[in-house]
Amino acid sequence: MSDTAHGTEPTPGSSDAPVHSRPSRERRLALATVLIIVVVALIVSTISVASVAFTRNSTSKSPSSITVTGSGTAQGTPDTVNFQIGVSTVAKSAVDALSQNSARIARLITSLRSSGVAKSDLQTSDLSIYANYNNKGDITGFTASNNLNVTMHTIKGAGAAIDAGARAAGNGVQLNGLSFSISNDSSLLKKARIAAMRNAYLEASQIAQAGGAHIGSILRITDQENVASPPVIYKTLAPIASGVNSVPLQAGSESVNVQVSVVYALK
């Protein structure tokens, strides 16, 4: 019986060996394949991301540039004069002061209109009535005043207009100031802008040359500010007596200034 029992024991190479060893090898092969696929996918994804980042960096690079400010000036002869002229009257009562002053300002307006001043170029700038007092605080009378802003587009006749107005209004007339201007400064602005651009190019060229570079195309231009030089202003004059000679006026010249900011590419 012992031989029979021994003959019935399975041998290691027989077909009755355990069945779990073959599926285990297949699982290992499947897991290895999956790991290889995952690693390849990660490598491809990393290469793709690196390629996109490099493209963005290369395309976003800004060209070298230089920014300069140029200025230009053009001078012209004023063709317009502005002045303020008015009348002041003293009387015993406020009503009398206002009535007398109104009559005198009316004569002044008529004279200015006869001298070529347009109605639209006459504007009342001040009208006032106030009491006058002595050292004791008593009212001694009243003063009425009326002033006009006047614009004349012919400087040559302005002196004669002022003289005629003084004669018409009498001793109470007062000239408060004059200023000159250019009515149309477009041509002066054009000249000043051209000069400003030339100045900017010269400055940029000098800086670029000193740095071993050359000026390229214009990337941006900004017209910063157009500034006219202050008009010629005469201080307040004393009251003009009637019968004076024609007032001589010298218009002089006026400057128009322009500044531009220019960005040039460097090459």
Sheet of strand 173-181, all strands in order from the earlier edge strand to the far edge: 122-133, 139-152, 80-91, 173-181, 233-234
Report the Cα 42 to chain-centroid distance in Å. Answer: 56
* pLDDT (tens digit per residue) in 199-232: 999 999 999 999 899 999 999 999 876 655 554 4
Residue 116 has pLDDT above 90, yes or no: yes
* CATH class for the domain made up of 79-183: alpha beta
Give per-residue pLDDT as tens, 153-178: 988 889 999 999 999 999 889 998 88
pLDDT tens column, 172-198: 899 988 899 888 888 999 999 999 999
User: What are the residue ranges spanned by the domains of the chain?
Assistant: 79-183
**pLDDT for 22:** 54
Alpha helix (H) residue ranges in 66-157:
94-114
